[in-house]
Chains A and B, each alone.
Chain A
């Protein structure tokens, strides 16, 4: 039980997917302009990464590993993730239009988010079982959401400031991310 909780905390805080492993930087910098969009994307990412980790883990354990097709995992995972996002999108559209309107527009963006593939591959490399993979995926996605929502908050403050011209736009966002990353390094002291 304790090790399962540690997997979640480790994924969310200690090895933060954006600030420590640099996965999903594109959307982290691109979408964090507005708080509302960031939060919606964050929820969509939690949704997709958790499901993708579960499916990738099952596929690996029951199809790829028994038949010695370990080397196919990159191709299989990327296709499964792309298909999965499509299915999730169609499913939501049909069953719960409310969630679809909130998340739907962010779902296609996630297909090319390297965090999803990154988590699936890391889970396999760490030799996680099904439950551990799902929890690691969930923890990582929570870490992503935390980082993007925090950055959106910082950026809403930065917008009011009178910055020197060369710093405007991406550089100041990167510097804010660097400071956040320094703060998150403090969590490495949490590793038990």
Chain B
């Protein structure tokens, strides 16, 4: 029993730290860069994605013996797209301010590499309990990274944290950090720090691999691409 418990805790730790989807695996870069203008947006986006990820992991894990191998990616996309639509409608109804802030990036959770990536790499090989824990760990890891990026950008670019004034009003905030370029700079800074303290990210594979390296769905495409170029 104890060993079984550890397995579940290990999944959480794996998602939060060892394989943090944003900071270590470098997945889901689009939403990370786009919505991290405010710490609150980071939490909103992170938790919406977590909800979708946990449910999609659960559904895909339950269906793993039913879905034929050849059509698994389209099946996953249908499952994820349905869940995203439900989440979008719920957010629109109950959290209109979050809906306005995140805009088009909510439906784009469908193409978030983390979700298809976890379906392909984990949920279709493991039982529902472990898959849900994996979803929670990965989702929270994503949420924390997003919120952290949002917090840094909000403090530097707007002088506030979670909407509360932090820096003295006399200090002019560096506006560029809440503009698009700030997103690239803050994420670059994260990776520089991780590199400097010696945490291996997968970024070398991402950048030097030649192939997109972006997600499991791409991985299928990548295999095909390599086949074609080998011919």
Contacts and interface: CB of A to CB of B under 8 A. Distances in A.
Interface of A: 19-27, 29-31, 33-34, 37, 71-75, 78-79, 82, 104-106, 108-109, 111-114, 117-118, 121-122, 125, 165-175, 177-179, 181-182, 185
A177 B214 CA distance: 18
B213 interface: yes
Contact of A105 (B77, B184, B228): B228
A86 B112 CA distance: 21
B221 A109 contact: yes
Interface residues on B, range: 35 or more
Nearest to A184: B180
Interface in B167-207: 176, 179-185, 187-189, 191-193, 195-196, 201, 203-204, 206-207
Contacts of A71: 85, 89
A-side interface mostly: helix
Contact of B206 (A23, A30, A185): A30
Contacts of A177: 184
A23 B34 CA distance: 8
B54 interface: no
B125 interface: no
B212 A31 contact: yes
A189 B85 CA distance: 36
A178 B30 contact: no
A102 B133 CA distance: 43
Residues of B contacting A: mostly: helix
Contacts of B207: 29-30, 33, 169-170, 173
Interface stretch (B57-65, B102-110, B139-147, B149-157): B102-110
A79 B79 CA distance: 11
Contacts of B116: 112
B165 interface: no
A166 B188 contact: no
Contacts of A178: 181-185, 188
B104 A78 contact: no
Contact of B30 (A26, A82, A109, A185): A26
B29 interface: yes
Contacts of A168: 195
A7 B182 CA distance: 26
Nearest to A108: B221
B209 interface: yes
